[in-house]
Every structure is written in C-alpha cells, then in structure tokens.
Amino acid sequence: MLENKKKEQMKFIYPETLISPDEIEIYGKEEKELIPETNPFEMAKKQIDIVAKEMCLNDNIKKFLKRVERSLIVSIPIKMDDGDLEIFEGYRVQHSTLRGPGKGGIRFAPNVNLDEVKALATWMTWKCSLLCLPLGGAKGGICVDPKKLSKNELERLTRRYTTEIINVIGPDIDIPAPDVNTDPQIMAWIMDTYSMHKGRAIPGVVTGKPIEIGGSVGRETATGMGLFFVLEALCTKMNIDLKTQSIVVQGFGNVGGNIAQILYDKGCKIIAVSDISGGLYSNRGLNIKELLEWRDGKNYLKDFQNKDYNYISNEDMLMLRCDILIPAAMENQITKVNANNLKCKVVLEGANGPTTPEADDILKKKGIIVVPDILANAGGVCVSYFEYIQDIHSYFWKLERINHELKNILVNTFENVYILSKEKNVTLRIASYMIAIARLAKAIELRGIFP
C-alpha cells in the first residue's frame, strides 16, 4: 500500500528542456518508473464533456469534436553517421480544419506518442478558435532523443520526416511550427525540403523560421509576451499591483525563460524557477538574468552556486507559497495528487494541458484562479499567424506592430472570457472553452456534413 501510494504521489517533470535516458539514469531509475500514465487525449476529451454539459451542446457536435480529422503515422529511416540504419516513428495529426488550415508545432522527444499528439492538436483547435484566428488545430512529433543525434543526423531526420508528411502540410492545408526541442533551424530545413519538392520557395509552409528566410520578429518571445499581457489584464481586473506578487515559474526553456525574464525586467519578484534537474528558490527573489546566462551555457540549475539560493525539487516547487504559479513545462503537472497542496492564488498556464480536470475541480474549491492554456499561452500561435500572413503578402511588420496586434487580440479575448465567466459563474477555463466550441459548433452547422 505504501509503495503504491508513493508511486501515485511521485511525479517526474518533463520541462521544455529534453530529458534523455542518460539523464534519467543520473536522476534515478525510480523517477522513470513513476512517470504519470495519464492519457492526454482522454484528458482532452473529458474537458470537452465537461464544457458540453455546461453548454447543453448537441450530442452530434460533441461526437464530432471528440474525434480527430486525420492521424498520420510515418516510419523515418535514417542512415546514421556510423553507417547504421535507425528507424524512428513520426506523427502529424489534424484535429480540425473547419475554420482554416491546421496550425501546430512539431516536437522531438523520446516520450512522444500518438495520443499526446492528438491531445495537443485538439488544444490547438480550441486555442485558434478562442482567438478567432482563421486556423484549425494540428500537431506533430517524432519519437526521438535529439541530443543523441549529430547535426547532420538531425537534418536528415527532419528532411525525411518532412518528405513523409509532405502531402498533408502546406500554406493552405496545415502549417507546422517549433515546439519542444525544435527551433528555427529545424523549421528552415522543413521549409527548404518542402520548397525543393514544389520547385519554388514557399516560406508560408512553416512558421517560427529564421527572419532571413521569412520569419517574423517577435516570434521567439511571443508565448512569454502573451503570458505577460494576459497576466497584466488579470491583475487589472483583480486590482492588484503585479510588482507586489511573488512568482514561481516551472520550466526554464523558451516559454518559462521568456516569461521569467519579462517579469523580472518589469520589476517583479521571481522566487523560484526550475529545469529538468530541479529548481532554485529564494524568498528574496532570484537574479533571472544571471540564471538565463547560466542556462544558455548549457548548464543545469542544480549546478548553479549561490549561497542565497536553495535547491528545491520540481515536485516541492509546485507547493511553494506564492501569489502566481506559472507551469511552463509539459502537460499533467498539476493533478488530483498534488492540487490540494498548492499555495498560490493564480495558476497561469504557460504549458499545454498542465492541469488535469480532476485538479481543476480541486483548485476551484480552493479559490485558486486558473488562467487556461488556450488563453494564457496563445501568444505563440497568434504571432505564428502574423508570420503566416506576412509570408503570404511578402510584407513584414516591425516589432512594435507585432506586439501591438498581439496585445490587442489577447486582451480583447481575455475580456470576453472574463465577462462570460462572471455571467455564467464558471471558471476561466470553462468560459474559454465555451467561446471556442461555440464558434466551432457554428462552423459545423453552417458547413454541414458531407456528403
């Protein structure tokens, strides 16, 4: 019994920084065995059920939205540098293209699986619909540990994967983007491979590209900037000064690192941050600039030396007493096991699906405000949309316009969600889903079912 309870309570964190099998050996085999088995796609479908009941949604529409339009599984044979052949498995899923081309990232990680990709594609559908972008939801991934590949092997993997999914992507079909362990260089390889097959340069096939080949300024920091705009809007509603709030950030990759830096630069007190190795905590606040420089040197936070900072595990960090908790790592971080122990006032979801439906109920009863992922972290897809339309028109915007348009869309969306949550006496998550699903339901009604 005690052993089973321990296994239920333990939780291994998968932040944006990759965890490799070697690193699991370093941090202990026990954690590997205790990775939570929550199926993210089942979680996504359960969220639909909860909102459908609140909306009295037609059963046929609910049934429609709980299925993905297309799932593609591909084998990716790669000749390694030593001459051996390795075969990897890749995925591209389109949950919905009812309101426009699919949109969603590609992640390279050893734990990627089809159900995870289905869930992420589903959440992208809600996100695009909530922001009223003319896009649908999609996602992709390869089950691989990219840290074990040379740059040449990584390029061959990316190009072969692109070739395998080439018939289901394109500017008017499905537009990929970076995600966990993918970056502008990988997007550049995808764009080049696609363009070579089509016989002309097609920058609009992916977003998150280098600026030199059609990328957009502001894309790299877009998710973090969007988190800030939404948090700022929430603080205005709550009549609190953001600078007086203590903040904990789980995950120190692109999203976590950027929101931590933005808040730090605005004069906020970040009391804890974490990566795969664990976290650092100081009640007096951390020097985020110093820690980012350490991270960018490919170092782990656990190895950072400062007598004023205390090491803290990822599990314990979620339980710190703070005003604002920002889970910016991976899905299924706040569950029914640990939700009762949270001591924050606000959860701002930087990651996709970090809170399970069971945990949502607990947090609601505790009076903790949860700003859902499809609203909080939507800055990334929003600026990806800007990049997409800039590519189509071959006319590029300045950073001031990017941030102005981003803030305008996110703040207006937050306002609509906030008003609906008060009118219906529901959480911000339920209100967000109600708006997103209502738009999709209307699209189904108007388009009808073919044939």
Q: Which residues are part of the catalytic machinery?
A: 139
Please tell me the distance from the alpha carbon of residue 325 to that of residue 319, in angstroms, as a whole number: 9
Phi/psi region, residue 6 (left: phi>0; alpha: psi -120 to 50; beta: rest), is alpha
Cα distance between residue 272 and residue 279, in whole Å: 7
Cβ neighbours of residue 398 under 8 Å, at least 6 residues apart?
217
Q: What ranges in 208-340 are assigned the alpha helix state H?
A: 222-238, 254-265, 288-296, 314-317
Q: Which residue has the tokens 């899905």?
A: 331
Integer Cα distance of 414 and 417 in angstroms: 5
- Provide the strand spans (E) within 9-101: 70-79, 85-96
136 three-state secondary structure: strand
Give bridge partners of residue 281 from the DSSP assignment: 272, 310
Residue 179 in contact with residue 147, Cβ under 8 Å?
no
Q: How far is it, in rounded angstroms, from Cα 261 to Cα 221?
A: 10
Asked whether the beta carbons of 282 and 308 are under 8 A apart, the reply is yes
CA distances from 110 to 43, 147, 218, 351 (A): 21, 10, 29, 18
Name the DSSP letter for residue 111. T
Contact between 219 and 208 under an 8 Å Cβ cutoff? The reply is: yes
Residue 445, CB-side half-sphere exposure with 13 Å CA sphere: 9
From residue 324, how far is each of 47, 154, 313, 348, 412 by CA, in Å?
24, 38, 18, 7, 22
